Structures are given as C-alpha cells and as structure tokens.
Amino acid sequence: MLSEALEHLVRGIVDNPDDVRVSAKTLRRGDLLEVRVHPDDLGRVIGRGGRTARALRTVIGALATEGPVRVDVVDVDRR
C-alpha cells in the first residue's frame, strides 16, 4: 500500500510519469522504499533544499502503521 501511494504522489510531480519505479525492501530496521525516476525529473522529486523529498517522507511516514519506513530517491546514473 505504501509503495503504491508513494508512486502515485511521485507520478503527479514528474514530467515522465511512465519512468517512475518504486521498489520495496524489508530490512532489520524497517521497510525501505526506493524511488527511481527519469534523470531529468530527479530535481523535481528532490526539490529545493530537499523540501519535496522531505514532504514525501513525512506523508509516507504518516501512512505507515507497522513501524519505520525509509524513503530513498535513487540517482539512476550512479547505480
């Protein structure tokens, strides 16, 4: 549910919504949601000073019911 909500929010922000990918992983310290977007949209998802990414983390954290959730925006050029 959280990955679908995050994907929906990110698709509304970017210019290339078809390139949005959210993958979920379970780690010892909680869940991890990785967001991958088109390289041209990376700045839109992060925002000025990280404000947009912080807002996305806040919303997903508020929706989380089973413990901590980390949201990472992955730069596809580096991985």
Q: Give per-residue pLDDT as tens, 17-63.
A: 999 999 999 998 889 999 999 999 999 999 999 999 999 999 999 99
Give Cα 51 distance to the centre of its chain. Answer: 13
Give domain limits for the chain: 1-78
If we measure between CA atoms, which residue out of 49, 18, 48, 50 comes closest to residue 36? Answer: 18
CA–CA gap between residue 38 and residue 31 (Å, rounded): 23
**Which homologous superfamily is 1-78 in?**
K homology (KH) domain (3.30.300.20)
pTM for this structure? 0.88
Residue 8 pLDDT greater than 90, yes or no: yes
CA pseudo-torsion sign 18, 69, 24, 34? positive
